[in-house]
């Protein structure tokens, strides 16, 4: 009997230092027993939080990259995208989804945070991202991104359960199959990750809020969700796995030298993803 090794096409940038994007997605998804085929969007010496980083835009080469994959007859169990640097790149992800047997399309619509839209995102790019979301199977916006997608006024990270349900329903109405609204606060000392799963309806999962932040947590969260989906778990189980993994990795690494520059120390705990979900 032929064994099955799930395969993900991961469309993200590569930062040589300051873990995020592909330097998170590849090791995390691989640790869960899933093959990752990267399609870089850009190559950077560090992530953009550092001064004077070098930047190489891979956009002109992405179509040739995709063409070669197509000539090989590759098929993917998932296309998973994060930060995209241009409207053309958004179209290239759409091409991947439509032209390949792409299985589950997971879109993390990285457009902003804390009410601030990323400077490179024009209104046209936001509209294109909304279109990409409409053809996705799973989307994982934070509160800022959900407000951009739905045209809702951003009024902070705190949302009631009713507001979360309304936002999730609006995003589902755009055409996506399933949605996870991440990083919601309610003044209860918890982080709420809320969503609508096509098969099981609305859910609201909580985890304790830590008193510090690290970069790369969003990429880490969605990568763990993708890993779980590829191993046959449902979305709710993937979200629970992701929240616990991110929390424990942040706690594990908080006293490591330069950790707030380096990014979340997930590596020592990655082996616990071997079953497809995080085992504490």
% residues pLDDT > 70 (the chain): 100
Q: How confident is the model at residue 71 (pLDDT cuts 50, 70, 90)?
A: very high
Q: In the prediction, which pLDDT does 2 show?
A: 81
Q: What is the mean pLDDT of residues 182-210?
A: 97
Q: In the prediction, which pLDDT does 221 show?
A: 98
Q: How confident is the model at residue 3 (pLDDT cuts 50, 70, 90)?
A: confident
CA distance 59 to 85: 8
Lowest model confidence (mean pLDDT) among 114-123, 161-170, 203-212: 114-123
Mean pLDDT over all residues of the chain?
96
Q: In the prediction, which pLDDT does 13 show?
A: 95
Is 217 domain-assigned?
yes
User: Per-residue pLDDT tens for 138-156?
Assistant: 999 999 999 999 999 999 9
Is 233 domain-assigned?
yes
Q: What is the mean pLDDT of residues 217-227?
A: 98
CA dihedral (123, 126, 131, 132) positive or negative: positive
Is 82 domain-assigned?
yes
Q: How confident is the model at residue 18 (pLDDT cuts 50, 70, 90)?
A: very high
| pLDDT above 80: residue 271 | yes
Backbone phi and psi for residue 182, each to the nearest 5 degrees, phi listed first: -100, 155
Is 280 domain-assigned?
no
CA distance 216 to 162: 29
Is 2 domain-assigned?
no
Is 1 domain-assigned?
no
**CB-CB contact of 56 with 47 (8 Å):** no
Beta strands in 30-103 (DSSP E): 35-44, 55-57, 78-81
Q: What is the mean pLDDT of residues 242-268?
A: 97
| pLDDT above 80: residue 197 | yes
CATH of the domain at 167: 3.40.1190.20
User: Per-residue pLDDT tens for 78-93?
Assistant: 999 999 999 999 999 9
| pLDDT above 80: residue 101 | no
| pLDDT above 80: residue 226 | yes
Q: In the prediction, which pLDDT does 81 show?
A: 98
CA distance 254 to 21: 20
* Structural domain count of the chain: 1
Q: In the prediction, which pLDDT does 1 show?
A: 77
User: Per-residue pLDDT tens for 48-68?
Assistant: 999 999 999 999 999 999 999
Task: Return the closest-CA partner of residue 217 out of 194, 253, 247, 254.
Answer: 247
Is 234 domain-assigned?
yes
Q: In the prediction, which pLDDT does 119 show?
A: 85
Is 199 domain-assigned?
yes
Question: Domain containing 87: what range?
Answer: 7-256+263-273
Q: How confident is the model at residue 276 (pLDDT cuts 50, 70, 90)?
A: very high
| pLDDT above 80: residue 222 | yes
**CB-CB contact of 145 with 129 (8 Å):** no
């Amino acid at each position: 009997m032929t064994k099955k090794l799930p395969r993900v096409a991961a469309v993200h940038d590569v930062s040589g230092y300051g873990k995020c994007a592909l330097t998170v997605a590849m090791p995390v998804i691989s640790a869960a027993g899933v093959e990752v085929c990267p399609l870089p969007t850009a190559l950077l010496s560090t992530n953009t939080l550092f001064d004077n980083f070098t930047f190489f835009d891979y956009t002109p080469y992405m179509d040739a990259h995709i063409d070669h994959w197509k000539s090989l007859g590759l098929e993917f169990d998932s296309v998973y995208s994060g930060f995209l640097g241009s409207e053309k790149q958004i179209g290239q992800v759409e091409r991947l989804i439509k032209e390949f047997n792409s299985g589950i399309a997971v879109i993390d619509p990285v457009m902003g945070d804390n009410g601030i839209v990323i400077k490179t995102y024009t209104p046209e790019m936001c509209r294109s991202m909304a279109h990409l979301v409409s053809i996705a199977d799973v989307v994982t916006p934070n509160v800022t991104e959900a407000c951009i997608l739905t045209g809702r006024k951003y009024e902070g990270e705190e949302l009631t359960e009713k507001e979360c349900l309304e936002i999730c329903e609006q995003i589902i109405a755009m055409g996506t199959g399933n949605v996870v609204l991440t990083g919601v606060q309610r003044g209860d000392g918890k982080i709420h990750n809320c969503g609508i799963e096509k098969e099981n309806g609305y859910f609201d999962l909580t985890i304790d809020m830590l008193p510090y932040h690290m970069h790369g947590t969003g990429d880490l969260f969605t990568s763990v969700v993708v890993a779980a989906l590829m191993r046959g778990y449902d979305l709710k189980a993937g979200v629970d796995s992701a929240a616990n993994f991110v929390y424990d990795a942040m706690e594990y690494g908080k006293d490591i030298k330069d950790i707030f520059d380096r990014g979340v120390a997930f590596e020592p705990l990655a082996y616990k993803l071997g079953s497809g979900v995080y085992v504490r």
